[in-house]
Amino acid sequence: MLILLDCRGLRLHTRRRFVAQSAAALIGALLWPGLKSMVAASSRPNLHFPAQPRDRIAIASYPFREVITGPDEHGNDRSGATIDIKDFAAHVSAKFNVRKIEPWSRHFHSLDGKYLEQFRTAVEKAQGAVVNIAVDGEHSPYSVDRAEREKAVAFSKQWIDVAAAVGSPSIRNNMPDAKDSNPDVGRAAETLAYVADYGATKHVVVSLENDNPVSEDPFFIVKVIEKVNSPWLHALPDFANTLVAAEEEYAYRGLQAMFAHAYSICHVKETEADTQGRMVHADLAKTFGMLKASHYQGYCSIEWDSPGDPYAGTQDLIDKAIRYLS
């Protein structure tokens, strides 16, 4: 039997595994020349998460999109003040005594090095930390069109670079639906394997969220993650999203399946409106029970997403999350 030692001397590979990985790399090279193959993936992430409930809490910037300025959004609160995303850590620290944030990709004014350096400096000055970036793109990883899948990879790689620049250990990579295809596990996994592999080179975890009911069904996500089988690709369970489009029994089974693959980030959301404006309510006790049963140790990002004051809603969710985590 042929035995191979990887570059760090950490793992032994049998000939069978080596041949399988080499075949995958060859196929990938034909599809996307120049991209790193799965064989080159780093070993695994090694994040150290805090144990105290409040220290596990982060605040998502998405609920504050009316007061955070961005390249395409100019939000104003009632006093007429605006917030730049680079100052969000200081803002939530003052408002909620929470210093960890999850910025939304569309809130970044620029992706150039100077702005990202300013962002990182501002977060550090606030004694804060970015725990994840919620990234929204437009290109589907399972499209039949190869060019579309290449664009999805390039977009994700760009945001992995951003995460590395600002010190974020992970990104949430969305999966838009394709115009030319129903959700396809094989193509999605093939594409996201390259994204996860690139994340490994930058020490950035990639997570998939149950959001779009067509392209991000929780069981579809789990199938993709299991097919990729990379320690750099995980699930991001959102407490309420699937309840909007599915029966409760299905939604909670989906959440349970996702928590089995979660690593560094989940979204604490109690309510969400469906397309008719009907509010659905997540059972927090039940969902936090799933979180604990899965031995999930990562961050809980508060994403209040209901009509009304996002500050009062966020504070209420923070208090509830800390109570359930205690």
Please write the tens of the pLDDT for every residue from 42-65.
489 999 999 999 999 999 999 999
Question: What integer pLDDT is reported at residue 82 of this predicted model?
Answer: 86
According to CATH, the superfamily of the domain at 35-325 is Divalent-metal-dependent TIM barrel enzymes (3.20.20.150)
> What per-residue confidence (pLDDT) applies to 12?
31
Per-residue confidence (pLDDT) for residue 81, from 0 to 100: 53
Neighbouring CB atoms inside 10 A of 122's CB total 18
- The sign of the CA dihedral 99, 105, 107, 109 is positive
Q: Model confidence at 102, in pLDDT bands (50, 70, 90)?
A: very high
Instruction: For residue 27, name the pLDDT band (cuts at 50, 70, 90).
Output: very low
pLDDT in the model for residue 41: 46
- Give the closest residue to 251 by CA, choosing from 204, 210, 309: 210
**Residue 74 clears pLDDT 80, i.e. is over it:** no
With bands split at pLDDT 50, 70 and 90, how would you rate the model's confidence at 17? very low
Predicted TM-score (pTM) of this structure: 0.86
Residues 255, 247: contact at Cβ < 8 Å? Answer: no
At residue 218 the predicted structure's pLDDT band, cuts being 50, 70 and 90, is very high
Residue 20 confidence (pLDDT): 41
Residue 77 scores a pLDDT above 70: no
For the ranges 24-28, 100-104, 164-168, 208-212, the lowest mean pLDDT is seen at: 24-28
Whether pLDDT at 1 is above 70:
no
Lowest-confidence region among 43-57, 68-82, 100-114:
68-82
pLDDT at 63: 95
Domain borders along the chain are 1-31, 35-325
User: What's the CA gap between 209 and 175, in Å, rounded?
Assistant: 8
Rounded Cα–Cα distance for residues 80 and 78 (Å): 5
Confidence of residue 28 (pLDDT cuts 50, 70, 90): very low
pLDDT digits (tens, 9 = 90+) for 267-309: 999 999 887 888 999 999 999 999 999 999 999 999 998 888 9
Q: Which of 24, 35, 2, 41 is nearest to 196 (CA)?
A: 41
Q: Rounded to whole angstroms, what are the CA distances from 109 to 86, 94, 105, 149?
A: 9, 23, 9, 26
Residue 24 φ then ψ, to 5°: -65, -40
User: What are the tens digits of pLDDT across the range 241-269?
Assistant: 999 999 999 999 999 999 999 999 999 99
* pLDDT one-digit tens code per residue, 122-159: 999 999 999 999 999 999 999 999 999 999 999 999 99
CA distances from 156 to 55, 124, 135, 153 (A): 28, 25, 8, 5
DSSP 23: H
